[in-house]
Amino acid sequence: MAFVPSRCPNTACPQHREPEGRFYYRHGVYRPRCRDGAVPRFRCRRCGKAFSPQTFRHDYRDRKPEHNELVFHLLSSGVGLRQIGRVTGLAPSSVQMKMRKMGRTCRWLHRNLCRTLPAGKTYLLDEEETYEGASIRTVTVPVVIERESWFVIAVTAGPTRRLAARGTRRRLWQERDERRRGRRRDRSKTCVRQVLNRLRQVSAEGSLVLRTDEKSSYRAVARQLFGDRLLHETTLGSLARTTANPLFAINTTIAMTRDNCGRLRRRSWLVSKRCLCLRLQMHVFVAYRNYVRQRFNRDADRQLSSAASLGLLPRALSVGELLRWRQDWGQRSNHPLSFLGERAVADSMSEPA
């Protein structure tokens, strides 16, 4: 079975948005060093652009793409970039570039597959804290999940400003740092607004339940975004974090982020130096948690991921499927379960049992 181009990869070509029949013709083959066998080439009849199956893949223009799946597994297992380089034989800079590219692909894939969530769901919100570079430069990481499936809907990261008491050594350290770098911005409320706005975009019409701790800014931001359709329930932050705690699911999810993402380990040399890289790492975690990992260890069906339990996919994805196609064309990107690339994300697709 051969690759079937679903559209012209040239975004300026009319055959990219609305492909018509055989918009292409065969244009020879080439033999890449990283793959066995010949790879066919095609040419668009409309714009004349030449392309191949590789143009549609996540590893387009990658070096050593055979390491991508292992790098993803290690990134989602809490391993640092330098150790991944030692395991795979890649330079740390190469691992970093692969991580950034995977983060962007995972971000797009999550946006493409998570368009609308079922109605009548309860959602949980909480923040975890880490830092970038030094402990005085704190960072907030707000996370929103669906309660029953533990599906991670949105996550981001942004700087916060937490000043120590005047006259302490830590306060002096912070003042010296701000004189050198400028006053640190506090984007905690903005980050919470971003993840809740994403929840607003994908949640079904009608009322919804949001559970948080008693942080005052949560209620104000949520009411502004959701209005009267919101039922906001709060829980004491001092309550024991047992299974009886209404926030047990989000507390455990945050614990999983620290286990699966080495960048979130405070007092460690794995900690991120920039928020941007932390956000990309978190997108890798979201893709792993939602689409690859079994939903719960107790589930008998090992193909039941969090996304599958919500009906977004028929089953869990393998890492190879997750990283098969590029996703930066939005709904026009190839569906991860489309082996030959003949279907786009926007197309209805059923996977046989």
Residue type at position 29:
V
Q: How many CB atoms lie within 10 A of CB 28?
A: 11
φ and ψ of 276, to 5 deg: -55, -45
Contacts of residue 85, defined as CB under 8 A and 6 or more positions apart, other chains included, come to 91, 92, 94, 95
Spans in the chain with pLDDT lower than 50 = 349-353
Global pTM reads 0.92
CA distances from 193 to 86, 120, 142, 219, 223 (A): 39, 22, 10, 11, 11
Helix 68-75 and helix 92-113, axial crossing angle in degrees, nearest 10 = 80
Task: Specify the pLDDT at position 350.
Answer: 42
Task: Specify the pLDDT at position 2.
Answer: 81
Task: Specify the pLDDT at position 349.
Answer: 46
- Each residue's pLDDT tens digit, 134-152: 899 999 999 999 999 999 9
- Each residue's pLDDT tens digit, 292-333: 999 999 999 999 999 999 999 999 999 999 999 999 999 999
CB 86 within 8 A of CB 94: no
CA distances from 276 to 12, 103, 225, 279, 280 (A): 29, 10, 25, 5, 6
Domains of the chain: 1-56 (no CATH), 74-79+100-113+276-353 (no CATH), 116-273 (3.30.420.10)
Task: Specify the pLDDT at position 318.
Answer: 96
Task: Specify the pLDDT at position 31.
Answer: 84
Task: Specify the pLDDT at position 102.
Answer: 96
Q: How many CB atoms lie within 10 A of CB 292?
A: 19
321: tokens are: 């499927």
CB 100 within 8 A of CB 277: yes
Task: Specify the pLDDT at position 266.
Answer: 78
Place of tokens 């019409």: 205
Task: Specify the pLDDT at position 341.
Answer: 86
Q: Which of 270, 258, 280, 286 lies closest to 80, judged by CA?
A: 270
